[in-house]
Amino acid sequence: MDGHLPSPGRLTLVAALLAAVFGSAQTPPPAAAPEPDVRLVYESDTRAYYRPCG
Amino acid sequence: MFKDLRSKPAPVIVCTAGDFYGTADIFNESKSHFVAQMMAELGYDAVGVGEMDLNFGLAGLVRDARQDRLPVVCANLETTVDSLRVRPGGRSDRANRDADRLGTAFPPYVIVERGGVRFGFLGLLSPATKAGRVMGETNEVKSLTYVISDPATAAQSLVPELRKACDVLVLLAHMDQDEAAALVGEVDGIDFVVLGHDPQGRPLGEPVVVGETALVRATYQGMHIGELSIDLEGKHVKEYHNRLYPLVASFRDDPDMVKKLDAFDERNREEQKELYARQQLRSADSASGASRYLGVGTCQSCHAEAFDVYMHTAHARAYNTLASQFVHRDTNCIGCHVTGYGDEGGFSGVRARGAMVDLVDVQCEACHGPGSEHTRDGSYRERAIHSCVKCHTESDDPDFDFDTDWPLVAH
């Protein structure tokens, strides 16, 4: 059975290849958008419908 | 959501293009004033006026603006009644002076300073929105105490000077997109337009750019909040990014606001019971005896098979869906859950003892029309085809598709 298992060195190589093709699971998340100078929050047609009818 | 946004480093300004009041009927009045109160609590910096906000008369809006210190702005809502002129003390003498010059009910604009930058908010309401249907408790049309003048003229008169007094100028435009686009084509110097009044309730995912001005719109019934992230160069707009937040059911509610809403609901339920009883008494007094609506029981006598299908549809339980959520007296909802609401001889309340016709639920006549108009030439059947979209609107039922949904009620 031992002869059928890939060696640790081969596993490392495969992992490196997979990471190169698909990207590493440890890839840091994309950087958050930079904070703007001002946020203008707006609404249109708010009405008094603050709850759905059902 | 406002708390979350305000917890971030960048300063936040909150505005609305108007239409925060409900429809013009007695059931909506308390609710509308409550919404105004909550808007003040949420800290709106600038509030435009929509035609809905005049549903209880200019006096109702003036009262809320004064009591709740709501920063209402409108540059073309004129009144000759002195007591209906709101001139907030200590905020902007300049805006009050312009209001006096133009004879407007509210200051035409407000200037809000954040991080050393002055943001001007100018309010305009289009006369094309058909503002002016003011209902009293007995549904009489009250005499109007205001005039809506030409918005473009008001903008031309104010923008050049206002532009000098602020760094960024925002127009709160309660009007169609085309009208607003034409206006900014005529008047230079407006950076952003926040649009209100879109009967189809279409939010704009991407701003519409007209010359140097970007037009944005959230909508509908408070289902979306828009956010413009603005980067400045010096004190002027360098670039911006628009984002819409859909306030879906999974959106986290603020516990304090939920408590306030629940408390209001409880008070309001009691008040509505009384209003409802009064309205029923009036309906009974004015009943002519010859109702145009006959009720599903009459239809059943000749159309037993169709009746059997109907009884297994959601239409036959439409009123219960409201009642189970205690919104069965909410006039924003009732119309699509009963038969003939608002129509002569249509639903005016749950059947009183001794009454002949019960019009709860979406009965046959809700789609086909009053039974008194029943004909035998096929037209009574045909007219129902066009009635679905009266309630299954793009905004209230975005997934509605006639071909898919018709089989659910086919008869």
> Three-state secondary structure along B154-176?
HHHHHHHHHHHHCCEEEEEEECC
Residue B139 has pLDDT above 50, yes or no: no
Q: Is B135 found in the same domain as B81?
A: yes
What average pLDDT does the structure give for chain B?
86
The number of residues in chain A equals: 54
Closest to B26 (Cα-Cα) out of B130, B134, B131 = B134
User: Which tens digit of pLDDT belongs to each residue from B380-410?
Assistant: 888 887 888 888 877 677 788 888 999 999 9
What pLDDT was estimated at residue A10? 58
What pLDDT was estimated at residue A31? 66
CB B216 within 8 Å of CB B391: no
What share of chain B has pLDDT > 70, as a percent?
A: 90
Q: Is B299 found in the same domain as B239?
A: no
Residue A32 in contact with partner chain B when CB distance is under 8 A = no
Q: Is B327 found in the same domain as B233?
A: no
In Å, what is the CA distance from A29 to each residue of B121, B398, B403?
38, 34, 44
User: Which tens digit of pLDDT belongs to each residue from B261-316?
Assistant: 889 988 888 887 777 777 666 655 555 555 688 888 889 888 989 999 999 999 99
The beta-strand segments (E) located in B322-382 are none
Contacts 24+ apart (CB under 8 A), B63-71: B63/B33, B64/B33, B64/B36, B64/B37, B65/B36, B65/B106, B67/B37, B68/B36, B68/B37, B68/B39, B68/B40, B69/B40, B70/B36, B70/B39, B70/B40, B70/B44, B71/B44, B71/B45, B71/B46, B71/B47, B71/B110
CB-based contact A53 B336, cutoff 8 Å? yes
CB-based contact B20 A49, cutoff 8 Å? no
Integer Cα distance of A48 and B327 in angstroms: 13
Q: Is B297 found in the same domain as B237?
A: no
Q: Among B187, B215, B246, give the residue marking a domain's end.
A: B246
Name which of B41, B228, B235, B264 to mutate to probe chain A: the one with the most chain A Cβ atoms within 10 A of its Cβ. Answer: B228
CB-based contact B198 A38, cutoff 8 Å? no
Q: Give the pLDDT mean for B97-102.
A: 95
What pLDDT was estimated at residue B179? 95
Q: Among B246, B269, B304, give the residue marking a domain's end.
A: B246
Q: Is B126 found in the same domain as B33?
A: yes
Instruction: Pick B10's closest partner by Cβ from A36, A47, A51.
Output: A36
CB-based contact B20 A44, cutoff 8 Å? no
Q: Give the pLDDT mean for B190-206.
A: 86
Q: Is B282 a member of any domain?
A: no
Integer Cα distance of B52 and B109 in angstroms: 20
pLDDT range class, residue B321, cuts 50, 70, 90 = confident
Place of tokens 């480093």: B9
Q: Is B87 a member of any domain?
A: yes
Q: Is B300 a member of any domain?
A: yes
Q: Is B300 found in the same domain as B232?
A: no
User: Which tens digit of pLDDT belongs to each residue from A9-49?
Assistant: 555 555 555 565 555 555 555 566 789 999 999 998 776 55
Which of B82-86, B218-222, B376-380 is predicted with the least confidence, judged by mean pLDDT?
B218-222
Return the H-helix or E-strand segment holding B15: strand B12-16
CATH of the domain at B206: 3.60.21.10
Q: Is B242 found in the same domain as B122?
A: yes
Domain that holds residue B242: 2-246
Q: Is B206 a member of any domain?
A: yes
Question: Which chain A residue shows the shortest CA-CA distance from B20?
Answer: A47
What pLDDT was estimated at residue B136? 44
**Torsion B391-B394-B400-B403 (CA) sign:** positive
The alpha carbon of B238 is separated from its chain's Cα centroid by a whole number of angstroms, namely 33
Q: Is B207 a member of any domain?
A: yes
Q: Is B327 a member of any domain?
A: yes
Which of A38-52, B24-38, B205-219, B379-393 is predicted with the least confidence, judged by mean pLDDT?
A38-52
**Torsion B206-B208-B214-B219 (CA) sign:** negative
CB B28 within 8 Å of CB B139: no
pLDDT range class, residue B238, cuts 50, 70, 90 = very high
Q: Is B299 found in the same domain as B231?
A: no
Of residues B134 and B298, more confidently modeled: B298
Q: Give the pLDDT mean for B242-256.
A: 84
CB-based contact A45 B196, cutoff 8 Å? yes
What pLDDT was estimated at residue B197? 84
Q: Is B270 a member of any domain?
A: no
What pLDDT was estimated at residue B44? 95
Q: Give the pLDDT mean for B193-214.
A: 88
Quote the Cα angle for B110-B98-B39, to 5°.
30
> For chain B, what is the domain count?
2
Q: Is B73 found in the same domain as B10?
A: yes
CB A32 within 8 Å of CB B5: no
Quote the Cα angle for B3-B30-B244, to 5°.
35
Integer Cα distance of B151 and B193 in angstroms: 14
Closest to B91 (Cα-Cα) out of B70, B74, B105 = B70
- Find chain A residues with C-beta within 8 A of B219's C-beta: 44-45
Please enumerate in sequence order all residues whose Cβ is within 8 A of that of B342, keeping only pairs 6 or more positions apart, or say none: B335
Q: Is B197 a member of any domain?
A: yes
Q: Is B22 found in the same domain as B165?
A: yes
Q: Among B246, B264, B296, give the residue marking a domain's end.
A: B246
Q: Is B339 found in the same domain as B203?
A: no
Q: Is B294 found in the same domain as B173?
A: no
Residue A39 in contact with partner chain B when CB distance is under 8 A = yes
CB-based contact B219 A48, cutoff 8 Å? no
CB B217 within 8 Å of CB B198: yes
Write the ipTM. 0.75
